[in-house]
């Protein structure tokens, strides 16, 4: 009988500990779907948010914004969505998967050319991207970063001739599902160049950069919103509030983004 009582007490304590965090805080998980370019910055923000909210675990699903939007449309469990463009967010608003009026632009980003540290192709200017035989890796056209890169190439036609964009795209050896995959291929020396976000370049300081003139660049706006089906409405809004707070915006700036002051 004593053994049975001991077992029941131990089981009760174990079950209680599964539902509570230290200091009696309720254990909860916040699931954030975020553009791949946010990986480093949001991982840091998630850690900080957990410290401020005992018992809360922030989990992330990073990927191409278009893929994340599709997953949410197909019923994936998510509390917050942060996109690298407004197109994917607007699609979710139209489908009532994100409440109209809730998306907020929380940062902007621009693009830059990155090269391997050894620069085996000898690239010294944007014009060199059109050199035949160059191995260029881009995000796919349906990925926000891939769409922005192609817009920039269109702008650069004004500098280098109307066939510049087509000549550069002829050098593309791979179109990636998200921008971080393109960065990785440059890091591994599998590509001579890529066009990525400034924030991606900040995360890999060993790579070389070629700046894109502001008048030829694009400004990518990132919106964030709670997902309509979230069961953590208050927590989702608190996370978004933290992203927009001075501390959150300072972290984003550190990772190469341009903050939006709320």
Quickly state the pLDDT bin for 59 (edges 50, 70, 90).
very high
Per-residue pLDDT, 22: 52
- pLDDT tens track for 153-185: 999 999 999 999 999 999 999 999 999 999 999
SS3 108: strand
pLDDT over threshold 70, residue 1: no
SS3 135: coil
Residue carrying the six token digits 């131990």 = 10
- pLDDT tens track for 119-146: 999 999 999 999 999 999 999 999 999 9
E strands, 49-168, in order: 56-63, 80-82, 104-109, 111-115, 136-139
Per-residue pLDDT, 23: 55
Per-residue pLDDT, 24: 56
Per-residue pLDDT, 11: 37
Per-residue pLDDT, 25: 58
């Amino acid at each position: 009988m004593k053994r049975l009582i001991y077992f029941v007490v131990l089981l009760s304590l174990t079950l209680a500990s599964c539902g509570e965090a230290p200091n009696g805080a309720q254990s909860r998980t916040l699931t954030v779907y975020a553009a791949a370019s946010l990986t480093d910055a949001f991982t840091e923000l998630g850690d900080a948010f957990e410290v401020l909210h005992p018992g809360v675990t922030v989990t992330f699903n990073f990927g191409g914004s278009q893929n994340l939007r599709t997953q949410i449309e197909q019923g994936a469990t998510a509390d917050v969505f942060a996109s690298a463009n407004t197109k994917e967010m607007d699609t979710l608003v139209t489908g009532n998967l994100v409440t109209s009026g809730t998306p907020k632009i929380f940062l902007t980003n621009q693009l830059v050319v990155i090269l391997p540290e050894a620069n085996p192709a000898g690239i010294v200017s944007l014009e060199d991207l059109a050199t035949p035989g160059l191995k260029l890796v881009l995000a796919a056209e349906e990925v926000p970063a891939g769409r922005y890169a192609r817009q920039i190439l269109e702008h650069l036609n004004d500098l280098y001739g109307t066939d510049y964009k087509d000549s550069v795209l002829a050098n593309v050896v791979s179109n990636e599902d998200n921008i971080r995959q393109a960065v990785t291929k440059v890091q591994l020396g599998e590509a001579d160049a890529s066009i990525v976000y400034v924030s991606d370049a900040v995360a890999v300081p060993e790579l070389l950069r070629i700046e894109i003139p502001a008048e030829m660049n694009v400004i990518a706006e990132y919106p964030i919103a709670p997902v309509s089906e979230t069961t953590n409405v208050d927590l989702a809004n608190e996370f978004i509030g933290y992203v927009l707070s001075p501390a959150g915006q300072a972290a984003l700036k550190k990772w190469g983004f341009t903050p939006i002051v709320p």
